[in-house]
Amino acid sequence: MSTALLRRGARAAAVTALALTGVIGGVTQASATRPHHAPEPVNVSVDASGIKAPDHALGGLTTFRVHTNDASGRQLQLLRPHDGVPLRTVFDDLAKAVSHTPAVSAQGVSALRGEADAAGGALVTPEVPETFTTRIEPGRLALLDFTAFLKDPAHPVFRVLWLDGGRHGDLRDFDGAVVTTRETPAGPRFDVRALHKAGEPILVHNAADELHEMQLQPVAPGTSDAEIQAYFDRVAAGNPGPAPFTGPALGIGAVSPGHSVLLRAHRLPPGRYALLCFIPDDKNGVPHAFLGMHKVLELS
């Protein structure tokens, strides 16, 4: 079955099952990672009317505050093209990455990894806006409406934010909840440390050699990882049946290898959630979640 259809099928099933602000700096752990006179976050809104954001901001360690009025939720993806790489090239390869053909999808995601830094992003709903902090080199940063892109890759909806100068600081001293994406003998997996409370800051670090994301999607009480895998197996076979998901996805978009993002999902309700990565594998083009990259956890 096609990569794009696998990914879209899983999301669509979740939507069908539904009938479907604070600043990180206010949190103790995150405050230690920010300069004393850090500027306000970059405010970004994304919805069916497009993207609203400033034209310029400081580079380096930068904080974004993302919100939407789209009742179905919206995904914003940040892409920083390498110097000399046209945005059109980045979008063309991203279109291949969401292709209906796994081999093309693998080719596209591999090319994208070499020509742009994926700096995370945000999956938000009107009820749950998000704030995230990451290090980005000065230059062009594309703010992409990834929800719209999945529907029409030929006509990307985006806004360019120019990052000027840079702020010092990093996220290495963060001592709270950490989710690390790793390669294992069984395939890519989530390694979770001290993640227990809804709405607490989460440091997401990509320790793997390919792109990963960390979607956070609510699931029915008692849902297990085995049931999540069984569902994806049914989707791949063309007979998904009832989805275990009970709400739209939240979390962080694609992150390049070696990069970290500090996330806070504001007003995230307590409950049972699945961590998911739908980015296609750079070898076989199958979404990582279908290869076992999911982890169910309970947040109080």
pLDDT for 35: 41
* Mean pLDDT computed over 28-45: 61
Residue 114 and residue 103: Cα distance in Å, rounded? 17
Residue type, 37: H
Closest to 158 in 3D by CA, of 142, 140, 147 = 142
Report which of 173, 169, 182, 225 is spatially closest to residue 203, judged by C-alpha positions: 173
Residue showing tokens 């993002």: 261
**Cα separations in angstroms, 165 against 51, 56, 57, 60, 64:** 23, 10, 9, 7, 17
22-31, 32-41, 170-179: the lowest-pLDDT one = 22-31
**Residue-level pLDDT at 25:** 36
**Average pLDDT of the chain?**
89
Q: What band does 7 get if pLDDT is binned at 50, 70 and 90?
A: low
Count of other CB atoms within 10 angstroms of residue 182: 15
- What pLDDT is stored for residue 39 in this prediction? 64
| Local structure of 235: helix, strand or coil | helix
Domain boundaries, the chain: 3-222+238-299
Q: Residue 93 and residue 73: Cα distance in Å, rounded?
A: 25
Give the separation between CA 89 and CA 94, rounded to whole angstroms. Answer: 9
Which tokens belong to 199?
């709405």
pLDDT value, residue 20: 29
Instruction: Give the whole-number percent of the chain exceeding pLDDT 70.
Output: 87
- Please give the pLDDT value at position 100: 87
Q: Which helix (H) or strand (E) holds 87?
A: helix 87-97
- pLDDT value of position 24: 34
Query: What are phi and psi for residue 28, nearest 5 degrees?
Result: -55, -50
How far, CA to CA in Å, does 5 sit from each of 20, 67, 157, 221? 18, 27, 21, 27
Q: Tell me: the pLDDT tens digits for 115-139?
A: 999 999 999 999 999 999 999 999 9
For the chain, the C-alpha Rg in angstroms (whole number) is 18
**Residue 136 corresponds to which tokens in the numbers above?**
């980005």
The pLDDT-based confidence of 170 (bands split at 50, 70, 90) is: confident
Query: What are 206's strand-pairing partners?
Result: 181
| For residues 179-208, average pLDDT | 97
Residue 200 phi/psi, 5-degree rounding, is: -75, 155
